[in-house]
Amino acid sequence: MLAERFGVLVPEHYGDLAGEYEAARKGVGLVDMSWRGVIELTGPDRIRWLNGQITNDVKDLKAGEGKLAAVLNIKGHILTDLAVYGLSDSVWIDLNRDRAQIVRDAFDRYIVADDVVAENASDRYAHLMVVGPEAQHFMVEAAGAGVADLPAWHHAEASLGSSPARIITSRWLGMPGYDVIVPVEAAGKAWEALVKLGTGRGLRPVGMAALEILRVEAAWPWYDVDFDEGNLLMESLSQDHVSFTKGCYIGQEVVIRVEHQGHVNKRLCGLWVAGEAVPPAGVGVQSGERPVGTVTSAVRSPVLGRVIALGHVRREFWDPGTKLRIAWGEQSVEAQVAPLPFISEGL
């Protein structure tokens, strides 16, 4: 069964949602991440120029290194979240595929006298993810010992069978994970090689339905789902995405102003939700009769045995344990503010 995510059709499930979730949570899962895209930067000025465009400090980014960041507009609102990877002759920017051309065009407006070329290379690469407690052991078997001890967001070139691949140590789901980026013509062979190696080792393909549960548990917010261009960075993304000490970049004045005044008026929070009903995205969060927020994503977590949600909540109600209500249609359920992530690595 296929479903559209970020402009791409990907498997919703492979016939066993519970089994797919359990494989990723307890063993190792393989995810089709075709909805991720790549902007490729080339040219001798690429690092210096990029450092003036994104929120994190990459002026010393070396080949094999990576980090999280975001692109903002001049008002400080988020155009996209991303991961940036340094290669020997280029920089890859990993982001949702439906944001790639928008961000590439925004970049192009700021390339003036710089020797930089920004290309939307999303159609040239395929993106997979191997994730779960056994992911490291599995990827060492699949790609060699060189991927074993990579720090988060660092990466190495390897081979999967006869396919060249870039293996990235990712932490999207708050547990051991590896993103695998391969030339699009090698995607089928890479997938088959991973599935074949995983036979008898507990690996299972994991569809988007299971991934949705896992990413809410890990508090991985998605653009156009949990935040969008109407949000400021500190409302929706973690401090891993930003440097408060780097030089100028687009939107920096707003970020620094918010940092100095000490708060934003709302931010993405976790919510424990009473009962078994899963609130739909977009419904209101209330304190008494007062509207104080909006649910952005909600799932029932098998490992926690309860419904959980992400949502933007006003700052007066951020304290964990604060009692609220979620109302939609004829339903109204109790909720409590919960610290994020709901599940941390090692649980």
* pLDDT for the residue numbered 248: 93
| Helix/strand/coil (H/E/C) assignment for every residue in 132-167 | CCCHHHHHHHHHCHHHCCCCCCCEEEEEECCEEEEE
**Domain tally for the chain?**
2
Residues 171, 292 within the same domain: no
CA nearest neighbour of 237 among 261, 258, 207 = 258
Dihedral sign, Cα of residue 59, residue 62, residue 63, residue 69: negative
What amino acid is encoded at 322 in this protein? T
User: So what's the pLDDT on residue 1?
Assistant: 84
Rounded to whole angstroms, the Cα distance separating 228 from 78 reads 6
> In this structure, are 211 and 140 located in the same domain?
yes
Omega before 341 cis (within 30°)?
yes
Which of 183, 199, 216 corresponds to the end of one domain? Answer: 216
Q: pLDDT by residue (tens digit) across 267-289?
A: 999 999 999 999 999 999 999 99
Per-residue pLDDT at 261 exceeds 80: no
CATH number at residue 191: 3.30.1360.120
In the predicted model, what is the mean pLDDT of residues 29-43?
98
Q: What is the mean pLDDT of residues 226-252?
A: 95
Domain assignment of residue 29, yes or no: yes
Decide if pLDDT at 13 tops 90: yes
| Residue 23 to residue 30: CA distance in whole angstroms | 9
Q: Report the amino acid identity of residue 164.
A: P
C-alpha dist (Å) from residue 263 to 1, 4, 143: 43, 36, 44
Does residue 59 belong to any structural domain of this protein? yes
Helices (H), 148-299: 187-198, 208-217, 233-236, 252-261
Residues 11 and 108 in one domain: yes
Work out the percent of the chain whose per-residue pLDDT is above 70. Answer: 99
- Report the C-alpha gap between 139 and 132 in whole angstroms: 11
Q: Which domain holds residue 269?
A: 265-339
Query: What is the rounded distance in angstroms from the CA atom of residue 158 to the CA atom of residue 8?
Result: 27
Residue 212 within a domain: yes
Query: Mind listing the pLDDT tens digit for each residue in 114-133?
Result: 999 999 999 999 999 999 99
Shared domain check, 284 and 204? no
Looking at the fold, whether 91 and 151 belong to one and the same domain comes out as yes
What pLDDT sits at residue 346?
52
| 328 located within any domain | yes
Q: Are both 270 and 207 inside the same structural domain? A: no
- Would you say residue 6 lies in a domain? yes
What are the tens digits of pLDDT across the range 202-212? 899 999 999 99
CATH of the domain at 290: 2.40.30.110
| Same domain (yes/no): 173, 322 | no
Q: Is the pLDDT of residue 197 over 80?
A: yes
Residue 263: what pLDDT?
79
Return d(Cα 126, Cα 257) in angstroms, integer.
39
How much is the pLDDT for 344?
80
Confidence of residue 173 (pLDDT cuts 50, 70, 90): very high
Q: Is the pLDDT of residue 309 over 70?
A: yes
- Shared-domain flag, residues 35 and 140: yes
Query: Domain for residue 153, yes or no?
Result: yes
Residues 29 and 133 in one domain: yes
Q: Is residue 149 part of a domain?
A: yes
Q: Is residue 100 in some structural domain?
A: yes
C-alpha 252/C-alpha 72 separation (Å) is 8
Asked if residues 13 and 207 have their Cβ atoms less than 8 Å apart, the reply is yes
Same structural domain for residues 287 and 188? no
Q: Are residues 142 and 29 in the same domain?
A: yes
Residue 200 has pLDDT above 60, yes or no: yes
Does position 71 have pLDDT exceeding 80, yes or no?
A: yes
Average predicted confidence (pLDDT) for the chain: 95
Cα–Cα distance measured from residue 333 to residue 328, given in angstroms and rounded to the nearest whole number: 9
**Per-residue pLDDT for 47 more than 60?**
yes
Residue tagged 């980014």 (tokens): 61
Q: Which of 179-183, 221-225, 237-241, 258-262 is least confident?
A: 258-262
Which of the four pLDDT bands, split at 50, 70 and 90, describes residue 326? very high
**Which stretches within the chain are classed as H helix?**
17-26, 46-51, 97-108, 135-143, 187-198, 208-217, 233-236, 252-261
**Same-domain status, 171 and 57:** yes
